[in-house]
Chain A
């Protein structure tokens, strides 16, 4: 007698997928740090890391090894539990985002139809929002537990920045959801694959707002106030060393990858390769081409993030808040109104 019918193959399939996605994100994050340094260097007429391995390609491995080998220091005055919890939470939150991203259509392996998505949740975007908001707890807890006034200041900044920009982000998204009518990322991508245009055509202003708020959510320049080196020393990870610091730095890069993936999925057709008929090749190959396309889109977004970082300086705190509350939110509301009007006119 079976009480619950457990599809073991399904569980194994999902576990393999989770492992692949997590390790791939870690690997990509590792090389994103390398990319960051290379892009910074090239934009500043420098060669960048070039000594470790051919073209400096082993540099991130050396960096990772260094982080692991460093001494773990927990300050006496720190709250030990929360001090350890902080980086773990930041890392977990950023990795959890990847669960709902559709990496490709579907492949047929060993007679099984495997969708290239860990979980097709029908409230995918809400889930992403929830998890991204969790990410700020990692920063808050880490900064508070360090018992250092600069860390605390920086985590307060991170929290208020995240709250201010999440509003505009949500409003920008609602406009998108009004046109798609679905919260599931898979559905949104499939609409774009079968539809005529990508969502960027329908929501250019919404995308711009979402992109700017994504920069703020990832704590990237020009919104990197939580780790403003010249005023807060190193921000919330000042007291951290070794792999705990590594987790914070990694989480930041993984956040970047995930928000690139979400932007690519929601506004740029996800795994859809333009001017290419997926039905003309075998479904497995089409799925792989889709995965490659999404990865290329992610890389382009990451390059854009870096390009912005090495172009403009950081906002002042009042400018940040003014931009968030007095410009972004009104623009997002206007976008909402416009979208609603267009939808009404079409009815």
Chain B
């Protein structure tokens, strides 16, 4: 039979010699191999103290963005919900009334915006679909929870801190998440 690669080796079917039947030499060889591992670097990351760095393209928990003046960018157009392959996003739109110009950037905003983190597959298609740069995937992941309800993240969980009024909190969140 023709070998597919040149790595194939014929198996030696000869009966073992006396020294091989004693196993001793090969055992001692093996023991030197394991001994050499005592001096190797351990790849272990001691988790709570050390954390593994995420790659720059890591897609984690979503955040809803605000603009520089602290206004919500989302206009509840629903493109993210349409783009979502896991159907994890639901939202309800509402119209901005007079006096709310400081809260919402455009005339329409999301009154309710929910992502089910158990459904979400963190593909990042919502981020790509968003025309208003309102939704981003951050560099953290969803922490454990006791109930399924706890995994449905609402606007309060997703919105980033207001850069105007909560500048400290925003800096901290960026520091932690970056």
| Residues on A with beta carbons closer than 8 Å to the beta carbon of B42 | 45-47
For chain B, what secondary structure do more than half of its interface residues adopt (helix, strand, loop), or is it mixed? Answer: helix
Within 8 A of A (CB), among B21-63: 21-24, 27, 30-31, 33-35, 37-38, 40-44, 46
CB distance from A319 to the nearest CB of B (A): 9
How many angstroms between the C-alpha atoms of A43 and B43 in the bound complex?
13
Given contacts A46-B44, A47-B42, contact A308 B31 (CB under 8 A): yes
Q: Does A123 contact B (CB under 8 A)?
A: no
Given contacts A312-B30, A327-B21, A327-B22, contact A307 B43 (CB under 8 A): no
How many angstroms between the C-alpha atoms of A80 and B32 in the bound complex?
47
| Residues on B with beta carbons closer than 8 Å to the beta carbon of A46 | 42, 44
- Number of residues in A with C-beta < 8 Å to the partner? 16
How many angstroms between the C-alpha atoms of A308 and B27 in the bound complex?
8
| Residues on A with beta carbons closer than 8 Å to the beta carbon of B41 | 45
Given contacts A43-B38, A44-B37, contact A311 B27 (CB under 8 A): yes
Given contacts A308-B27, A312-B27, A327-B21, contact A43 B34 (CB under 8 A): yes
Q: List 6 A-B pairs, Cβ < 8 Å.
A: A47-B44, A208-B24, A310-B34, A311-B31, A312-B27, A327-B22
| Residues on A with beta carbons closer than 8 Å to the beta carbon of B33 | 311
| Residues on B with beta carbons closer than 8 Å to the beta carbon of A308 | 27, 31
Which A residues fall within an 8 A CB radius of B? 42-47, 50, 208, 307-308, 310-312, 322-323, 327
Given contacts A327-B21, A327-B22, contact A311 B34 (CB under 8 A): yes
How many angstroms between the C-alpha atoms of A5 and B44 in the bound complex?
65
Excluding A43-B34, A43-B38, A322-B21, 4 further A-B contacts by CB distance (< 8 Å) are: A42-B38, A45-B44, A311-B31, A311-B33
How many angstroms between the C-alpha atoms of A323 and B31 in the bound complex?
20
Within 8 A of A (CB), among B97-156: none
| Residues on B with beta carbons closer than 8 Å to the beta carbon of A44 | 37
